[in-house]
Amino acid sequence: MGSRAAPDSHFDAESFRGNPFFYFACGVAASEVMVDVLTDKIRLSREGILQATGQPLDPVIVRGQIEGAFMQAAGRLTMDELVWPIGGKLLTDSPAACKIPTAADMPKVFNVLSVQPCSNRVEALFQSKGIDETPLLLAIYGHRAIGQALQYTLRSGAADGSRLDTSATPENILTALEGACPVP
């Protein structure tokens, strides 16, 4: 085992100049979801992620990190919910209250592509980049796909809009389908 410290970074807040970060991570995702309006259950059926990874040290581990981080956040946005009674203490305050996605919740099609030659500082270890945080943020695409599917369903029905709160639990989907909340 070994470790390596990043070279000095600097930033002058007054002149707004400098190099505050060692590298920038970026990615994009596309999600396809299925919403059963009779049971209010959702299924993430297809996912595509394009991630700037630089030159990965181990492509298999990088893919696993991307898939795992995405599914962790997708689980938070679709299964987990913070429950606060009025004026009370948080009821879902332990791991026992969390609903964690399993292999059965993975999309049937999960495409991950990495952009390898991408701009990166030459000091980066083998031109690699950290990739854990970006897929966490990309999970919002799945949540938005659910909201768009509900809006499409509602346009063809009596209600005319919805707002899907996080998390996209069956209860929140039912609320959105009933048109209880206006579109933001």
Catalytic residue among 47, 81, 133, 171: 133
Burial code of 18-33, b = ≥16 C-beta within 10 A, e = fewer?
A: eeeeebebebebebbb
Please indicate whether residue 32 is annotated as part of the active site. Answer: no
And the tokens for 113?
């592509």
User: Which ranges of the chain does DSSP label H, i.e. alpha helix?
Assistant: 59-78, 133-138, 140-155, 170-177
**DSSP assignment of 88-119, as one string?**
S--S--SGGGPPPP-GGGS-SEEEEEEE-S--
Please state the length of the chain.
Answer: 184
Catalytic residues: 133
